[in-house]
Amino acid sequence: MRVIGIDPGLRRMGWGVVEVSGTKLSHLGNGVCLSEGRDLGRRLCVLHEQLTDIMTRFAPDAAAVEQTFVNKDAVGTLKLGQARGIAMLVPAQAGLDVAEYAPNAVKKVVVGVGHADKRQVEHMVKLQFPGIELAGADAADALAIAMCHAHHARFAGRLEAAVAKAQA
């Protein structure tokens, strides 16, 4: 299974792709989609184009996006929500279901504690994939989201198999 993790952002949208084979995870790629300027519509369009290109290049089987939390800046939260819409739309256009994970759930899977900071997440991602070049903190977060989905998908499959076996 090939998983793309997406860390939504209006200026910097991180992405990371991993391959899952049994219990082994392999890094396939990571990066950041960038948008600039004042025109919100154009910025969203640029993010859509870049993320669509990544989806075409890596052809993932599954997608996961980090959930947004509401902060004190309502305007900023709304803009982030629009970028998050692009992060969910592009994989959905490719026919994928999009899983969503809270930031604390991602950190719990990758670091072991739900309130880890960005440096800890980046460190654990580098430990999981020795020698990789990270395109920055947003790409590290996206890889962590992909790792979280791979972890949950692996255990969901085991649960379904156990339930099917018990019913037989």
Catalytic residue among 7, 49, 73, 122: 7
Would you give the DSSP letter of residue 22? Answer: T
Is 141 labeled as catalytic in the residue annotation? no
- Residue 122 falls in the annotated catalytic set: no
Q: Residue 158, Cα to own-chain centre: how many angstroms?
A: 22
The C-alpha angle 3, 151, 164, rounded to 5 degrees, equals 105
| From 100, 138, 141, 160, active-site residue | 138
Count other C-beta atoms under 10 Å from residue 42's C-beta.
12
**Does the annotation count 73 as an active-site position?**
no
How far is it, in rounded angstroms, from Cα 60 to Cα 4?
Answer: 6
In three-state secondary structure terms, 19 is strand
| Nearest-angstrom CA–CA distance, 149 and 139 | 15
- Catalytic, out of 39, 66, 100, 117: 66
Residues assigned a catalytic role: 7, 66, 138
